[in-house]
Chain A
Amino acid sequence: MDARASADRIASAVAAGRTTATAVVEAALERIAERDKVLNAFTAVTRERARAKACAIDKARAEGKPAGPLAGVPFAVKNLFDVAGLPTLAGSKINRDRLPAAADSPLTARLEAAGAVLIGALNMGEYAYDFTGENVHYGPSRNPHDTARMTGGSSGGSGAAVAGGLVPIALGSDTNGSIRVPASFCGIFGLKPTYGRLSRARTFPFVASLDHVGPLARNTLDLALAYDAMQGHDPDDPVCSRRPPDPVLPLLGSGIGGLRIAIAGGYFKRGASPEALAAVARVAEALGASREIEVPEAARARAAAFVITTSEGAALHLERLRSRAGEFEPAIRDRLISGAMVPAPLVVKAQKFRRWYREQALRLFETIDAILAPATPFPAPRIGQQTMQLEGAEVPLRPNIGIFTQPISFIGLPVVAVPVPLEPLPIGVQIIAAPWREDIALRLAHALDQARVAAAPRPAE
């Protein structure tokens, strides 16, 4: 079996006895050993653990026990998820001094309970305060479509590992866009679920008010398989919802008839490159969407997300900034220290605005079911690039990467980022739904996947 096979195909083949989990894992390890020299997606490969898990799956199958829905599927996690026996780096040098994690994150445990096999931990921007996938301590993760280009961040290793065919599924986190940005730049699917839907327990935090976790994959079926395996309340994450799981897999192929879809105009068109606009137009046409709506106060929402992020991030890292500031990546250190200087009333106002903006945005969903918007303003820039051309002016690159993702995660709406395979580089479109309606975003993404309007292009090697 091709090491780049989908999770669905791997699990079916293992369940049917056409291959073994051991063969799948060995093929994945071989592929990682070969390709990761270039992509730099992994910071740890958990070989022996993966081999032992695969062996256990094969033994259980030989004994006639039922195979899980992800039987033998290799996956990897952004290195802010706890992996038993490894220090949880969160992309930093400082965290190398942490004690090894005593247990896996619950999402890892849930995926493994479904038969998946953890194969390693993935590179990321330091402490997740990043949209590029670059990292001074571990080197940049590299875009499989052009290794001179950024993966996007902060879940950069997750983007590179999935797009590069090293694993079919990876986990990432998304505070302001860190799943959707790498999905866009690397040309893969990413799900940022509703705030509170998936447990963040045993993950290294960034901004408690805004942190989400979710899966990335090369097709919607794999995304849904992973998502369903991870749903469910977890008392160890204080914001994890008590709602019962809403499995999306049974609904995935139920079609898109009757769904009312609108295109985000105004803010979401200004600052978008021709490629971003072309990708949205292609998706809109395929879904028969023509109505344009204005997401009220989106610019202010992005501003408020920025303010909350920098101040909560600073609060989290304050002691490390006091005692070990010289060990941070300099640009991230400067951002975090500046976050400690923001007067408190401005932060409280941003949280007040957040609730007001949520109410305005939710009104939109009284008459529509989903909103389309670009995931990033442009396709993957070059690694190290500092500025970009936007509407004829030269502007700083980094703060602009997240302008279209921030106003959405700010109020926790579920989003599937779908890859539109433009040449020479893919770019993502956000399919945004009302809270707890991941099913709608995934149904639409699946229809686009089936029609090949959205697809993860296979990189040349």
Chain B
Amino acid sequence: MGANEGDTVDDLVDAVAAALALPIEPEWKPGIRSNLQITLRLAAMVAELELPDEAEPASVFEA
């Protein structure tokens, strides 16, 4: 993410909070933002690894 990473993450938090009807107090935002930034950084690291379209997720349901 670039220079506006903080703003982007804040926008994401606000949008999802509205979509999921999650009430968030203003003083919780810095903690939520810093956790989400860490998660997005780690998720990007996972997403970087190319896997074939056929790769099966590990979450399996047995009918």
A-side residues, CB < 8 A to B, are 209, 297, 299-300, 302-304, 306-307, 310, 318, 321-322, 325-326, 330-331, 333-335, 337-342, 345-356, 358, 399
A337–B46 contact, CB under 8 A? no
Assess A339 versus B39: contact at CB under 8 Å? Given A349-B46, A349-B47.
yes
Expressed in whole angstroms, the Cα–Cα distance for A339 and B39 within the complex equals: 8
Majority DSSP secondary structure for residues of A touching B: helix
A334–B56 contact, CB under 8 A? no
Of the A-B pairs whose beta carbons lie under 8 Å apart in the complex, a sample of 9, sorted by A's number, is: A299-B45, A310-B39, A322-B20, A337-B24, A338-B13, A339-B35, A346-B46, A349-B46, A355-B57
Question: B43: which of A307, A321, A337, A340 is its contact (CB, 8 Å)?
Answer: A307
Question: B20: which of A340, A346, A352, A355 is its contact (CB, 8 Å)?
Answer: A340
The smallest C-beta distance from A164 to any residue of chain B, in angstroms, reads 33
Majority DSSP secondary structure for residues of B touching A: helix
B39–A306 contact, CB under 8 A? yes
Q: Supply 18 further A-B pairs (C-beta < 8 A) apart from A338-B39, A352-B51.
A: A297-B49, A307-B39, A310-B39, A318-B22, A322-B23, A325-B22, A333-B28, A334-B28, A334-B32, A338-B32, A338-B33, A338-B35, A341-B13, A346-B43, A347-B43, A349-B43, A353-B49, A355-B57
Assess A337 versus B57: contact at CB under 8 Å? Given A353-B46, A353-B49.
no
Closest B residue, CB atoms, query A301: B46
The smallest C-beta distance from B21 to any residue of chain A, in angstroms, reads 6
Instruction: Find chain B residues with CB under 8 A from A337 CB.
Output: 17, 22, 24, 28, 32
A307–B36 contact, CB under 8 A? no
Instruction: Find chain B residues with CB under 8 A from A342 CB.
Output: 36, 39-40, 43
Question: B16: which of A325, A341, A355 is its contact (CB, 8 Å)?
Answer: A341
Question: B46: which of A307, A322, A335, A399 is its contact (CB, 8 Å)?
Answer: A307
Whether a CB of chain A sits under 8 angstroms from the CB of B4 is no
Expressed in whole angstroms, the Cα–Cα distance for A333 and B35 within the complex equals: 11
B58–A209 contact, CB under 8 A? yes
Closest A residue, CB atoms, query B30: A334
A321–B42 contact, CB under 8 A? no
Instruction: Find chain A residues with CB under 8 A from B57 CB.
Output: 348, 351-352, 354-355
- How many interface residues does chain B have, given as a range? 20 to 34
Instruction: Find chain A residues with CB under 8 A from B42 CB.
Output: 302-304, 306-307
Expressed in whole angstroms, the Cα–Cα distance for A345 and B58 within the complex equals: 14
Closest A residue, CB atoms, query B60: A355
Expressed in whole angstroms, the Cα–Cα distance for A337 and B28 within the complex equals: 10
Whether a CB of chain A sits under 8 angstroms from the CB of B1 is no
Whether a CB of chain A sits under 8 angstroms from the CB of B31 is yes
Question: B38: which of A330, A352, A399 is its contact (CB, 8 Å)?
Answer: A399
B21–A322 contact, CB under 8 A? yes
Expressed in whole angstroms, the Cα–Cα distance for A350 and B20 within the complex equals: 23
A355–B56 contact, CB under 8 A? yes
Assess A351 versus B43: contact at CB under 8 Å? Given A331-B31, A338-B36.
no
Closest B residue, CB atoms, query A348: B57
Closest A residue, CB atoms, query B61: A238
B22–A322 contact, CB under 8 A? yes
A334–B49 contact, CB under 8 A? no
Instruction: Find chain A residues with CB under 8 A from B59 CB.
Output: 209, 351
Whether a CB of chain A sits under 8 angstroms from the CB of B55 is yes
The smallest C-beta distance from B4 to any residue of chain A, in angstroms, reads 17
Instruction: Find chain B residues with CB under 8 A from A349 CB.
Output: 43, 46-47, 51
The smallest C-beta distance from A66 to any residue of chain B, in angstroms, reads 39
Closest B residue, CB atoms, query A304: B46
The smallest C-beta distance from B24 to any residue of chain A, in angstroms, reads 7
Instruction: Find chain A residues with CB under 8 A from B28 CB.
Output: 325, 330, 333-334, 337
